């Protein structure tokens, strides 16, 4: 009898806890591609790889809200990343598992939403213009201009290629305004995007109180019109020789009623390294045409030279066909070519890891043909 009462009490406690959480959801996406990855314009041994990859870094997430009354609610989001094609235990997978993606907790109400944790600030700004009208296509991230070019400033040689659009900025706060007739603003701040808040026994003259990052973005999405303007400013903390970073990106697209969608992105990024200021301008024109369950996607992306570094630009073109088997499952075939100028080493997203083929050296190109399948849940 006593055991039964104890069991009922335990079950009652769990039931009370479950009732307190008014809404918990699980979602995610799983992707895989079969591809031919060929390196060209090289003096190295011919490189033509047949691969099975997870270009997206598949993921699932848990999210939840609790009604606190008076229009106020608590919320959380935990994103977990993995690779469809690799075992996590081998150390080759890109995803690092539990909470490797955006993860935060906060409050929301009539004032908007404020959260603390880690957030993607600049990297995904304007991504919507690169997809078709429904935005669920299976196009691999490596063939998106933002992932291969817009998020980087290249220099002479692969060692000088720097990712400037930090994803999953740690130690960060984010505020999102309410939606005003299609307009929404975002303000982000990080006390230390590089991770460590300071190091014990720091070298003399290194000031660990200066590292921080600011992020501002405005989104307008109303009917066929989408526009985004974003700015990122990262002052590196306590790392002599590593430059501060600044970036501004303008993105826009228009969806015509007969299925055609045309977009444009312009990105200016700079790295204020010691003794020099490396700046490059880049732009992209993506176009898509949707008819029934089919979508044709095409884009052209170009990076100009880094100032003071001749032949340090690159070009990427992508063409693909996507078919929606359902609202959640897409398949598609895609082809793309990344061409580096003689002193540039831009990469297909994930090159040199389990996510994609061989790392490109300065002046090399990559041709990719791939069949992709993507399921969201």
Whether the pLDDT of residue 236 is over 70: the answer is yes
Nearest C-alpha neighbor of 81 from the set 52, 54, 58, 55: 58
Instruction: Return the closest-CA partner of residue 345 out of 48, 39, 50.
Output: 39
What the block records as the tokens of 332 is: 């598609």
Predicted confidence band of residue 41 (pLDDT cuts 50, 70, 90) = confident
Print the domain residue range for 218: 28-197+208-376
The CATH number for 166's domain is 2.40.160.10
Q: 104-125: per-residue pLDDT in tens?
A: 999 999 999 999 999 999 999 9
In the chain, % helix, strand, coil (3-state, to 5) comes to 10, 50, 40
Residue 281, domain member (yes or no): yes
Q: Domain for residue 7, yes or no?
A: no
Domain assignment present for 3: no
Question: Of 280, 281, 283, whose CA–CA distance to 299 is shortest?
Answer: 283
Q: How many CA atoms are closer than 13 Å to the CA of 19, on its beta-carbon side? A: 6
Tell me, yes or no, whether 20 lies in a domain: no
Please check the confidence at residue 13 and state whether its pLDDT lies above 90.
Answer: no
1, part of any domain: no
pLDDT grade for 297, boundaries at 50, 70 and 90? very high
Looking at the predicted structure, is the pLDDT value of residue 3 above 70? no
- Average pLDDT, whole number, for the chain? 86
Rounded to two decimals, what is the model's pTM? 0.87
Q: Is the pLDDT of residue 18 over 60?
A: no
d(CA 373, CA 33): 6
**Cα distances (angstroms) measured from residue 42 to each of 39, 227, 287, 355:** 7, 40, 31, 22
Any domain includes 325: yes
22, part of any domain: no
Could you tell me which residue, 368 or 362, shows the higher pLDDT? 368
Min mean pLDDT across 43-47, 133-137, 233-237 is at 43-47
Q: How many domains does the chain have?
A: 1
The answer to whether residue 6 is domain-embedded is: no
**Between residues 323 and 45, which one has the greater pLDDT?**
323
Largest CA distance in the chain: 84
Among the listed ranges 193-202, 298-307, 326-335, which one has the minimum average pLDDT value?
193-202
Report CA-CA distances (Å) from 369 to 29, 36, 37, 144, 310. Answer: 22, 5, 7, 14, 30
């Amino acid at each position: 009898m006593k055991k039964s009462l104890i069991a009922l009490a335990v079950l009652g406690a769990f039931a009370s806890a479950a009732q307190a959480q008014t809404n918990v959801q699980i979602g995610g996406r799983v992707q895989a591609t079969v591809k031919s990855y060929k390196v060209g314009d090289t003096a190295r041994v011919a490189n033509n790889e047949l691969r099975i990859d997870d270009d997206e870094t598949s993921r699932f997430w848990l999210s939840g809200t609790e009604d606190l009354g008076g229009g106020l609610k608590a919320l959380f989001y935990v994103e977990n990343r993995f690779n469809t094609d690799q075992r996590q235990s081998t150390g080759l997978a890109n995803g690092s598992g539990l909470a490797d993606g955006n993860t935060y907790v906060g409050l929301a109400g009539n004032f908007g939403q404020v959260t603390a944790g880690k957030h993607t600030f600049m990297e995904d700004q304007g991504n919507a213009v690169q997809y078709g009208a429904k935005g669920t296509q299976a196009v691999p991230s490596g063939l998106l201009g933002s992932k291969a070019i817009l998020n980087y400033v290249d220099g002479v040689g692969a060692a000088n290629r720097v990712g400037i659009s930090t994803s999953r900025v740690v130690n960060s706060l984010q505020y999102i305004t309410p939606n005003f007739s299609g307009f929404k603003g975002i303000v982000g701040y990080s006390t230390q995007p590089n991770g460590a808040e300071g190091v014990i026994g720091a070298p003399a003259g290194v000031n660990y109180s200066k590292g921080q990052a600011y992020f501002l973005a405005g989104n307008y999405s109303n009917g066929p019109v989408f526009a985004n303007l974003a700015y990122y400013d990262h002052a590196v903390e306590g790392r002599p020789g590593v430059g501060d970073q600044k970036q501004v990106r303008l993105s826009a697209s228009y969806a015509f009623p007969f299925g055609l969608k045309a977009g444009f992105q312009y990105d200016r990024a700079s790295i204020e390294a010691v003794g020099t200021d490396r700046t490059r301008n880049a732009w992209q024109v993506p176009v898509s045409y949707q008819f029934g369950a089919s979508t044709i996607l095409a884009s052209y992306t170009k990076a100009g030279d880094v100032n003071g570094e001749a032949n340090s630009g690159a070009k990427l073109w992508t063409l693909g066909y996507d078919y929606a088997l359902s609202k959640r499952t897409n398949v598609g075939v895609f082809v793309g070519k990344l061409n580096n100028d003689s002193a540039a080493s831009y990469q297909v997203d994930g090159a040199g890891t389990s996510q994609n083929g061989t790392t490109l050296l300065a002046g090399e190109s990559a041709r990719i043909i791939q069949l992709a399948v993507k399921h969201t849940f």
